[in-house]
């Protein structure tokens, strides 16, 4: 029984180490900004930055004032340095505690046309403020 517990603890620790940044994290720049749709701050919008040259994307969700902060991994904030394609969409909440729970779209201000738009931006070392306006 003791060896089963020992191996279980080892397996859990190994799995947790794989979940966070921990490995080879590229150089990141911190990114924040405001999303405006039709001139108004847009709450509950999912913002995705995807590196043009490939690699892990970063994302964030706008708060009630339309402000977002990008997250690269569970332990690292920001986005990879370089050019990115930016897309937005409505933030969807999932109830992970309920089996078969419906998805809930929050606020729904991102139209299909805006969700299809791609913007190109550049993330530089240090702090970046990248405001996004639609249209």
pLDDT in tens, 27-43: 999 999 999 999 999 99
Per-residue confidence band for 110, with pLDDT thresholds at 50, 70 and 90: very high
Residue 23 pLDDT greater than 60, yes or no: yes
Distance, in Å, from the CA atom of 135 to the CA atom of 122, rounded to the nearest integer, reads 20
Better-scored residue on pLDDT, 120 or 3: 120
Q: Give a yes or no: residue 32 inside a domain.
A: yes
Q: Is residue 105 a part of any domain in this protein?
A: yes
In a domain, 37, yes or no: yes
Instruction: With respect to residue 116, please indicate whether it lies within any of the assigned structural domains.
Output: yes
Strand ranges (E), the chain: 28-37, 40-41, 45-51, 58-61, 67-69, 71-73, 76-77, 79-80, 82-90, 92-93, 104-105, 119-123, 126-129, 132-134
Q: How many domains does the chain have?
A: 1
86 occurs within a structural domain? yes
Residue-level pLDDT at 95: 64
Which CATH number fits the domain that encloses residue 47?
Answer: 2.60.40.10
Residue 63: domain span: 25-134
User: 89 in a domain, yes or no?
Assistant: yes
Q: Is residue 14 part of a domain?
A: no
Within a domain: 97: yes
């Amino acid at each position: 029984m003791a060896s089963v517990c020992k191996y279980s603890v080892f397996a859990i620790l190994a799995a947790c180490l794989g979940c966070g940044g921990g490995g080879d994290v590229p150089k990141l720049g911190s990114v924040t900004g405001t999303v405006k749709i039709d001139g108004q701050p847009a709450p509950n919008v999912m913002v995705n930055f995807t590196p043009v040259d490939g690699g892990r994307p970063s994302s964030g969700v706008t708060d009630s004032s339309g402000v977002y902060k990008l997250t690269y991994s569970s332990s690292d904030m920001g986005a990879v340095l370089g050019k990115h394609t930016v897309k937005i969409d409505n933030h969807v909440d999932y109830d992970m505690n309920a089996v078969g729970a419906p998805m809930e779209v929050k606020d729904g201000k991102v139209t299909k046309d805006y969700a299809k738009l791609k913007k190109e931006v550049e993330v530089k070392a240090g702090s970046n403020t990248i405001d996004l306006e639609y249209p």
